[in-house]
């Protein structure tokens, strides 16, 4: 009978998978993984780093530009927003 994995076993597996993934990415020396702060801005920090090579320092500017673009093209993005009947339309 197969035993069910405990949470710490699953976390250990994920940690091992992450380490293997990172090793495979960085192994040949042509790529580097740059850690971003996990503060709710990581997507915008990552975009900032890719666009400006600034380790995410312009994340506030990127967030503002992305939000402005989405607001200006609301019809295109509204298909990705699912509201319940009782939710207010933003």
**For 48-57, how does the pLDDT look when each residue is reduced to its tens digit (9 = 90+)?**
999 999 999 9
Which pTM was predicted?
0.66
3-class SS of residue 64: helix
Alpha helices per DSSP H over 1-90? 7-26, 42-52, 59-72, 74-77
Render pLDDT for 31-48 as a digit per residue (tens, 0 to 9).
988 988 889 999 999 999
- Give, in order, the Cα–Cα distances in Å from 18 to each of 2, 5, 90: 25, 18, 38
Q: 14-23: per-residue pLDDT in tens?
A: 577 888 888 8
**pLDDT of the residue at 41:** 95
Residue 87: what pLDDT? Answer: 60
């Amino acid at each position: 009978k197969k035993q069910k994995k405990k949470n710490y076993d699953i976390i250990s597996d994920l940690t091992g998978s992450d380490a293997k993934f990172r090793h495979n990415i960085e192994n040949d020396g042509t790529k580097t993984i740059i850690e971003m702060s996990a503060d709710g801005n990581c997507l915008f920090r990552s975009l900032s780093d890719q666009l400006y090579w600034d380790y995410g320092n312009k994340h506030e500017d990127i967030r503002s530009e992305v939000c402005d673009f989405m607001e200006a093209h609301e019809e295109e993005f509204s298909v990705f927003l699912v509201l319940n009947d009782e939710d207010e339309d933003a």
